[in-house]
Chains A and B, each alone.
Chain A
Amino acid sequence: MSVKKFAVACYHDEAVLFPAVRKVRGSGYKLHDVYSPFPVHGLDTALGLKQTDLHIAGFCYGITGTATALGFMSWVLTKDWSINYGGKPFFSLPAFIPITFELTVLFAAVGMVLTFCYLNQIMPGVKKHIFHPRQTDDLFVVALEITDPSAELEMIDFLKTTGAVETSVQTAEEGWWYGFWDKEEVYEKVG
């Protein structure tokens, strides 16, 4: 987590964004991130991002739920306190299925959402730098990290050739910090 300088380009349409992303990746500049107001299909592939493993995590949470429910009910009804319900066997598997299913779904859903928040570093009270206020509205934003200060102008010129409708140079914290969104950012406070 540190304050860095970024060359920022905004595009008005995903049809312009795709060729721009291709050019940026070929240019050798360090790509910080791409922001869009909605999920753009194929953008992850265009950026060379790996597929997410979130669903595998979900599966693991799910079977944890299955095991918890089955294990717990079996333990209660066969070991801890067996009760004869209408002469049915203590280990009555068919009757355990509904709760087992519900707990599988519950564990998978809650676990996945928490993992989603953790991976994306989002939580109530988290604040991040917004490169353009319309990046959650109708603009697609590409941010390049300026690693060599002398290349700043060159980078901006390059971004302009990719079809950007707006370019800027911004100094910003690259990670997240605790804060409210009505306050102006104070980068010195970042640890």
Chain B
Amino acid sequence: MNGNKDYHQVTEDICRPVEQKPTKLWYLGFITSLIFLGFGAFSVFWEVYWGIGTWGINRTVGWGWDITNFVWWVGIGHAGTLISAILLLFRQGWRTGVNRAAEAMTIFAVMCAGMFPIFHMGRVWNAFYVLPYPNTRGPLWPNFNSALLWDVFAISTYFTVSLLFWYSGLVPDFATIRDRAKTKLRKKLYGIASFGWTGTAKNWQRFEALALVLAGLATPLVLSVHTIVSMDFATSVIPGWHTTIFPPYFVAGAIFSGFAMVNTLLVLVRKIFRLEDYITLGHIEAMNKVIVLTGSIVGVAYLSELFIAWYSQVRYEQDAFKWRIMGPYWWSYWAMMTCNVVSPQLFWVKKLRRNIVFTFILSIVVNIGMWFERFVIIVTSLYRDYLPSSWTYYSPTWTELGFYLGTFGLFFTCFFLFAKYFPVIAIAEIKFVLKTSGENYKEKMLPLEEKSTDEFIHIAEHSH
């Protein structure tokens, strides 16, 4: 954290965007998002009204853009809880600057992801059939041994727990805004949103216990969600899917794309809301380091897949990978390789890691690459399998494209509302680390650090 701040200044800085009138840039972004959302809603309406035949998917390629987009959004949704939960457990102080926005991003991304399998069902009004509820057909239960049903449980649990984690952290900050509010409407709305929080010592004690346990629960949950998503593929017998490497490979890819999306958003947020003191270059660099690490893991995974396809001596596996690299979809494979494996390696250079414009561009490149990864896995495994007479080529129709653009609309509509009406940085958490991370406080520690151990112990013992 940069700059000479005290507790009140922290409150002022973070509440400023919430209390000011939205800027023209905000309106522009928000309305653009709404237009995308509207087009998405129309595309989905079209698909539901006329049926799934309006999409480009066919008997051979039954999963197209919809599941590609689903996995892509879920992957993006991994960074938030990873930052808040795993980094909380590892006591990474830098997470406090970015966790709130990253968690919000997670929740919105999972909302977008959830749309795809639901509307892929076609007769979406029967979507509740996947839930195990007592019904008049026996009752007939869903198949609990199916990875697809595990996914229903994983995604809905992940969404719920992330939402609870996020909101429980927001409650004290809403109370801060409530007590500063000037207008009646604000007092009323933030009063409701803050649940009547007052911040007694006991409240805070329970708050910390809750945060720690939720972090402990969310940590394996993050890993489980993309593991289970990968099992949607890995438990099948399709060449290119039936591999044991999928769970760790998917989790690394999810963190990779999630951190990239966090960078895309934070570079904008810190600029627009002038929060450079809180979301510092240090944060951006730390996330770029995670990107280069996970990008390399993903790269190793791609190469291991190729090696195992050759080493297994299974004809179908070998062909699946041959068609990926050299078949009609060669461009998607090489787009994936370039964006995901080659480009993040540039982050080994410290100058580039700390360059805002470069970070922004690369974060988008990474997410394009990760979209292609899912497209490669899904479509280029399905389009040519055991039966050459069924081989086909798949391209999306405008409804699929519209649906995808619509989820961008949904995501950014939510994010713009969040950025305007919610504190984008966790106020209480920043205050909690202010005296250890604040620049002005660090300076005060310097003379103390120069003292000998005995002197330091003497000072520490008499400080309170």
Residues of A within 8 A of B (CB): 18-19, 33-40, 43-44, 47, 49, 51-52, 54-55, 58, 62, 72-73, 76-77, 80-81, 83, 85, 88, 92, 95-96, 98-99, 101-103, 105-106, 108-110, 112-113, 116-117, 119-130, 133-138, 176, 180-182
Contact = CB atoms under 8 A, between A and B. Distances in A.
Nearest to A42: B464
B7 A37 contact: yes
11 contacts: A36-B204, A38-B428, A73-B144, A76-B132, A105-B220, A109-B214, A120-B206, A122-B203, A128-B198, A137-B8, A182-B187
Contact of B217 (A34, A109, A126): A109
B292 interface: no
B316 interface: no
B224 A98 contact: yes
A25 to B, nearest CB: 12
Given A54-B209, A137-B8, A36 B201 contact: yes
B218 to A, nearest CB: 8
A39 B195 contact: no
Contact of A98 (B154, B172, B194): B154
Given A54-B206, A85-B143, A138-B8, A124 B193 contact: yes
A44 B192 CA distance: 27
Interface in B203-255: 203-210, 212-214, 217-218, 220-221, 224, 228, 231
Contacts of A38: 7, 172, 199, 204, 427-429, 431-432
B176 A119 contact: no
Nearest to A120: B203
B154 A102 contact: yes
Given A120-B197, A128-B196, 11 more contacts: A38-B429, A39-B428, A49-B201, A81-B138, A101-B220, A121-B196, A123-B195, A124-B193, A125-B196, A135-B199, A136-B197
Given A130-B179, A135-B179, A181-B188, A103 B157 contact: yes
Contact of A103 (B153, B178, B184, B209): B153
A39 B207 contact: yes
B59 interface: no
A108 B217 contact: yes
Contacts of A52: 202, 205-206, 209
B171 A122 contact: yes
B379 interface: no
Nearest to B174: A136
Interface in B26-82: none
Contacts of B339: none
A113 B192 contact: no
Contact of A134 (B144, B179, B190): B179
A98 B155 CA distance: 12
Contacts of B195: 117, 122-124, 126
A12 to B, nearest CB: 8
Contacts of A62: 217
Contacts of A137: 7-8, 11, 176, 179-180
Contacts of A83: 143
Contacts of A33: 200-202
Contacts of A18: 464
